[in-house]
Amino acid sequence: MTDELIRLENLQKAFGDTVVLDGVELSVNRGESLAVIGRSGSGKSVMLKHVLGLMMPTDGDVWCLGTHINTADLRELYHVRARVGYVFQFAALFDSLTVRENVGFFLDNHADKTPEEIDEIVEEKLTQVGLPGTGPLMPASLSGGMKKRAGLARALVGEPEIILYDEPTSGLDPITAAAVNDLINKTKEYTAATTVIITHDMHSAYKTAERIAMLHEGRIIFDGSNQEIRDCEDPRVQQFINGRAEGPIDPLKGSTKQRPQEANL
Ligand SMILES: Nc1ncnc2c1ncn2[C@@H]1O[C@H](COP(=O)(O)OP(=O)(O)OP(=O)(O)O)[C@@H](O)[C@H]1O
Ligand SMILES: [Mg+2]
């Protein structure tokens, strides 16, 4: 069995004339922790959604856990999704459901378990993320950091082999962000899951990943270790990781491309 759990090959995605992904090449092996960095709007979330078939490519190929996602039927997609935990960028909790119902949603609807067994699993996952006893609360009464934790608890109920985090620290104060980084690392230790973290927070990337890939103008322009990115001579990478306004990347220009207009004959 291959150790390559995710593979994106020449992945392209356009929305109308806006080319978001323009030939992404990326592979993730079992046990790795990878951070994908890139400017806001560079297509990080779009890329991640392709891994689970939540978006389909304009061109190119996507594999996840040995399944060719482009051609998978719904049943196959369901099997892949069941083995992957997805922590959404904005937690994506159902406002009208309690924390317990949100975290146990997948089990309530798909698993062959009694409500008591589900209660037990949910409480175990809530405890793991530092939210014991919060099951009866409504999402509206949680802080931003608590919502992110509840989102992680929900991703953990399926005992995932891969955990995908979309911007786990965005919008959090530095102390809460540090706690979330610690939680990601702790989760990696006790689940041994392969981890992909999408972020524009360099501090979080360094803290939680051993390998960093940078997405820029639709492609991966750097892929290497934490030390290699610090030593990378590409001025675009240096500008991003050091957060400088000056450099080859125009901070006022969008981070996706427009298709060249066809000549007016
Ligand atoms: N469903 C969609 N329809 C049309 N355009 C979309 C859709 N989803 C994303 N886009 C566009 O794709 C581009 C990349 O969006 P994406 O959300 O992947 O960025 P991102 O890198 O995750 O940014 P951020 O760091 O702000 O989360 C943006 O220009 C966005 O407007
Ligand atoms: Mg995003």
Same-domain pairing of 59 and 135: no
Is ligand 1 within 6 A of the CB of residue 43?
A: yes
Within 8 A by CB and 6+ apart from 174, the residues are: none
Better pLDDT: 212 or 112: 212
CATH number of 33's domain = 3.40.50.300
Same-domain pairing of 62 and 5: yes
Same-domain pairing of 92 and 77: no
Q: Contact at 8 Å (CB) between 91 and 73?
A: no
Report how far Cα 167 is from the mean position of its chain's Cα atoms: 7
Distance 1 CA to ligand 2 centre (A): 32
Same-domain pairing of 9 and 134: no
**Confidence label for 260 from pLDDT (cuts 50, 70 and 90):** low
Residues in the chain: 265
How large is the average pLDDT for residues 16-39?
Answer: 96
For residue 75, give both structure tokens: 């049943």
Is ligand 1 within 6 A of the CB of residue 15?
A: yes
pLDDT at residue 130, as a whole number: 87
Is ligand 1 within 6 A of the CB of residue 44?
A: yes
Domain of 46, in residue numbers: 1-83+163-168+190-260
Distance 152 CA to ligand 1 centre (A): 22
Residue with the nearest Cα to atom 24 of ligand 1?
Answer: 40
Distance 141 CA to ligand 1 centre (A): 28
Is ligand 1 within 6 A of the CB of residue 45?
A: yes
Place of tokens 């159902």: 94
pLDDT at residue 21, as a whole number: 97
Residue 136 has pLDDT above 90, yes or no: yes
pLDDT at residue 15, as a whole number: 95
Prediction pTM value: 0.90
pLDDT at residue 30, as a whole number: 96
pLDDT at residue 262, as a whole number: 56
* Nearest residue to 152 via CA among 208, 92, 108: 92
Q: C-alpha angle with apex 54: 218 to 51, nearest 5 degrees? A: 60
pLDDT at residue 2, as a whole number: 57
Residue 256 has pLDDT above 80, yes or no: no
Domain count, the chain: 2
Identity of residue 256:
T
Q: Is residue 182 part of a domain?
A: no
Residues within 5 Å of ion ligand 2 by Cβ?
45
Which domain-ending residue is among 159, 182, 202? 159
How large is the average pLDDT for residues 243-250?
Answer: 87
Distance 45 CA to ligand 1 centre (A): 7
Rounded distance between C-alpha atoms, residue 169 and residue 178, angstroms: 8
Is ligand 1 within 6 A of the CB of residue 169?
A: no
Distance 169 CA to ligand 1 centre (A): 18
Same-domain pairing of 151 and 94: yes
